[in-house]
Structure 1
Amino acid sequence: MEKTLVLLKPDALARGLVGRVITRFEEAALKIVGVKMKLMDEEFTRKHYFDLEERAGMDVYNTTARFMQSGPVIALALQGVDVVAKVRKIIGSTFPDQASPGTVRGDFAHQTKASSEVSGKAVMNLVHASGNSEEAKYEVELWFPESEQFEYETLAEKFAY
């Protein structure tokens, strides 16, 4: 069983989509082992997006940081078999205009002007999810110390595993 991080971004909360997004993960038999609401300050944003400036540039980092600090986010630590890949499929492409129908972003994210060109514009795509297992390990540990992760048995675990 692996773990991954999902953040419901300020636009998901502002639009009242939290329950509908979380339902997608529960329907896929993914287990919530941690949940919290948080306002991201500059220091925490830098820790979370530690490599974004290097990968995408200062403009992208600054725009993303401003957006992520514009309101509360809900963080989920999810657990399951191949959970990183499953979550990426459930949420869909980063860019709303490229996300398939049936995915979180394909069904709910707004098309933004030039959404496929991030330069200077925050992509309002409702959720962040770890991109790979290494990133997931770092992000889950950053957001959820061991004492804030919970163990319990779900019906899916009881009957499927």
Structure 2
Amino acid sequence: MGAVERTLVLLKPDAVARGLSGRILQRFEEAGLKVVGTKMVRMDADLARKHYFDLEERFGKSVFDVTATFMQSGPVIALVLEGVEAVANVRRLVGSTFPNLSAPGTIRGDFAHTSKAYTEAKHTVAANLIHASGNVEEAKYEVDLWFDGAELFEYPSAAERFLF
């Protein structure tokens, strides 16, 4: 059995505005992941810079600007999910960053659309419903950035009897 991990998931402004938050959360819970932290926030410029600190370096200023502007355009639901190999399992459930490449049955494959942000930036998809940490180290950084320890909970879930 793999390690129990925590990972950050952000339900982006398009997921919230389209009323998909509950359906997306249900997918994670049905897959055996446990919600140990959740809150609705408005991402400000400082949080955008800290969260996407490497985006400008990797893809250019225009990609960072499109992403940061989109993420500040409406409320975001931040989740910390816990489970066996949570980072990889969440990424599998979410699907490809690019909605048109996401397989049916994934969250993006079922609900996301190629966005206006993508066609304008040519390098990124800001409006693809969801952010999921890319690896274990990134997950630790992002969980600590978005949540303090008092906002995260330890509790046994009914499913843990069968998973562990």
- 1:22-71 CA deviation, whole Å, 9 max, x = no partner? 00000001010000000011011111111111111100000000000000
Residue type matched to 1:128 in 2?
Answer: H
Which residue is 1:70 aligned to? 73
Match of 2:53 among 42, 50, 53: 50
1:115 offset after TM fit, Å?
4.2
The 5 Å alignment of 1:21-60 reads 21-60=24-63
Unaligned runs of 5+ in 2: none
Given the two structures, how large is their TM-score scaled by the length of structure 2?
Answer: 0.93
Given the two structures, how large is their TM-score scaled by the length of structure 1?
Answer: 0.94
Whether the 8 Å CA contact 1:95–1:116 is kept in 2: the answer is no
- 1:134-159 CA deviation, whole Å, 9 max, x = no partner? 00000001111111100000011123
The SS at the match of 1:34 is strand
Q: Distance in 1 between matches of 2:115 and 2:77?
A: 22
Q: Which runs of 4+ in 1 moved over 2 A?
A: 111-123
Which residue is 2:136 aligned to? 133
Q: Distance in 1 between matches of 2:115 and 2:125?
A: 9
Q: Distance in 1 between matches of 2:163 and 2:102?
A: 30
Which residue is 1:95 aligned to? 98
- 1:1-33 CA deviation, whole Å, 9 max, x = no partner? 110000000000110100000000000010100
Residue type matched to 2:16 in 1?
Answer: L
1:110 offset after TM fit, Å?
1.2
Residue type matched to 2:63 in 1?
Answer: V
> RMSD between aligned alpha carbons?
1.7
The number of residue pairs the alignment matches comes to: 161
Unaligned runs of 5+ in 1: none
